[in-house]
Structure 1
């Protein structure tokens, strides 16, 4: 079993880290003997892993130069690679063990602490070695240093799959080796047990992205207009345009650049082309956004607001995916699921009618929200209706039974939602005790 840090890497680092992160920053990588250098605790740990291995000085130097793009060579300043690594090890000595940070998630009256993944050394090692083998020919063509692939394999086996995987990613980025979407997805999947921030994988990696397809569901979380409405439910900083641009530019880690704008544009296009009245559209937006943003207070009618959303999405797509040509309502409507969504909506009609969204202000009666949602499901798109329904339940703090939540999860799977999409309402599941 490889040693795991006291806290997940994604808590400690929001970008690449350790020796692989140092190689990515380069230029500040050598002068340990003569001044302070930007680094982190993992640099010292990575250095110790290599020092404890049987890799020769030449092998370690090759590995570093490949990761660094031959920009900074420890041997060029009269140092040996091992003394250079020793300097890093001394600068960042192994810290004493500390209790893992407690992460809690509120669910009714219970506190649930998520478990961390269990790393199996042999499985992770074999998985990283398999990925190295898959890109071996590309690495040999791109990297002008001899024996890089055999040395990288040795590093995985002797210094650990964590460091080996990060160095593989760094070398691919340094030499702009392109990977296809399927391999990129495997890299993301492989990174999850290591608990990396996803930037460790996708930051700077050259990916051959497929064309944008708003019908693809590669996002683990909410998306489109329902995601935007959720952002405005907790809107405190910046202008509405800034919040809108953030959502339009927020592609999921597995999504082709521009997808976030494309799915949002598709939702808005459907609503603008629908027979829904202005009053219904207004009710829908206010209910889903928890009354967090009222367009009329900024001189906008609801249709003008939806047009503004569409305009920002088109701007984003022109910048990010100029070849993309959005088609009106390009995602097929899942009409076969309309009755299932309506059944869940009508099953909560009584509860919805007894509640008001933001009751202490100009709130939205739950019954009005339910009618607006039903019109979306029937006249526009059951998928969009279900996503907005979840947002309304969130705004109303609606209690849910385990059985109902299970049906929501099943519906989400049939719509192709990601792992955490429906779980945005799981905090309201009632205990059976």
Structure 2
């Protein structure tokens, strides 16, 4: 069976979806669900495969509803606020899963095809090291934000890397760093490019948003 490429020219899967949930903000569920459908349709439906893969991995994990909510809220800078809509992370991911699965199967009537696996799977320690290196600033930026506070992001990211998938955890880390404009050194961004290549990700996954690069941190 032919595998679906993860090289789609931008961030992929659930982290890619998070990146598209920006202005204008919405707290309307109908608008949010339609947006998920639009994302799943991208690249002729190819985007739905990684979206389904990421979502299934999270839903199969032992991460709690609040932890899943924290990941979504931080990754989107609360531009679609689950709390304001009165839903929790596991329910929201279940709806995303259903939309992605439907987009894959409705046209061909077949089970979802597997994705090309990342080039390296033994990189959890490296990704956890990247989280640890920015943990203090990341926790301060997310939990301590004056208007868009999200507590518990760092431990949730660590659990994704250790218990779900280091590739996905790495993409979520980059997404949150960009969403909250957390200061990072130029050398660290260069390291992100190296790690992305080892994980089989495109440069665009690192470059699809603005890092708050601080030369004085180098």
Q: State the TM-score, normalizing by the size of structure 2.
A: 0.86
What is the aligned partner in structure 2 of residue 274 from structure 1?
Answer: 61
**Residue 92 of structure 2: aligned partner:** 305
**How far does the alpha carbon of each residue in 1:145-195 deviate from its partner, in whole angstroms, 9 at most, with x for none?**
xxxxxxxxxxxxxxxxxxxxxxxxxxxxxxxxxxxxxxxxxxxxxxxxxxx
1:314 and 2:101 are equivalent in the alignment: yes
Aligned residue pair count: 214
Aligned to 1:6: none
> Which whole-Å CA distance do the structure 2 matches of 1:417 and 1:231 have between them?
18
Between stretches 232-241 and 407-416, larger displacement belongs to 232-241
Alpha-carbon distance in 2 for matches of 1:378, 1:280: 14
Task: Select which of 17, 34, 38 maps to 1:242.
Answer: 34
C-alpha distance in 1 between matches for 2:161 and 2:116: 17
Is 1:420 the equivalent of 2:212? no
1:345 aligned partner: 131
Q: Which blocks of at least 5 consecutive residues in structure 2 are unaligned?
A: none
2:184 counterpart SS class = coil
Checking the alignment, whether the CA contact within 8 Å between 1:268 and 1:310 is kept in structure 2 is yes
How far apart are the structure 1 equivalents of 2:48 and 2:144?
29
Question: What SS class does the counterpart of residue 313 from structure 1 fall into?
Answer: helix
Structure 1 position 354 matched with structure 2 position 143: no
2:214 alignment counterpart: 430
Contact 1:286 1:293 in 2 (8 A): yes
Structure 1: how far apart are the matches of 2:149 and 2:95? 24
Kept in 2, the 8 Å contact 1:345–1:370? The answer is yes
Equivalent runs, 1:101-180 vs 2, <5 Å: none
Please tell me whether Structure 1 or Structure 2 has the larger radius of gyration of its CA atoms: 1
**Gap change, CA 1:346 and 1:358, over 3 Å in 2:** closer
Higher relative contact order (CA 8 A, sep 6+): 2
Distance 1:422 1:332, change over 3 A: closer
d(CA) in 2 for partners of 1:425 and 1:305?
24
Question: Alpha carbons of 1:426 and 1:394: their partners in 2 closer, same or farther (altered >3 Å)?
Answer: closer
**1:380 counterpart = 2:164:** yes
Cα gap change, 1:352 to 1:419, in 2 (>3 Å): closer
Structure 1 unaligned segments of length 5 or more: list them. 1-209, 252-256
Over the aligned positions, Cα root-mean-square deviation in angstroms equals 2.6
The answer for the alignment partner of 1:220 in structure 2 is 9
More helix by share: 2
Q: How does 1:37-52 map to 2 (within 5 A)?
A: none
- Give, in angstroms, the shift of residue 278 of structure 1: 1.5
After TM superposition, which residue ranges in structure 1, 4 or more long, deviate above 4 angstroms? 329-334
The residue number in structure 2 matching 1:265 is 52
Q: Is the 8 A contact 1:258 1:321 kept in 2?
A: no
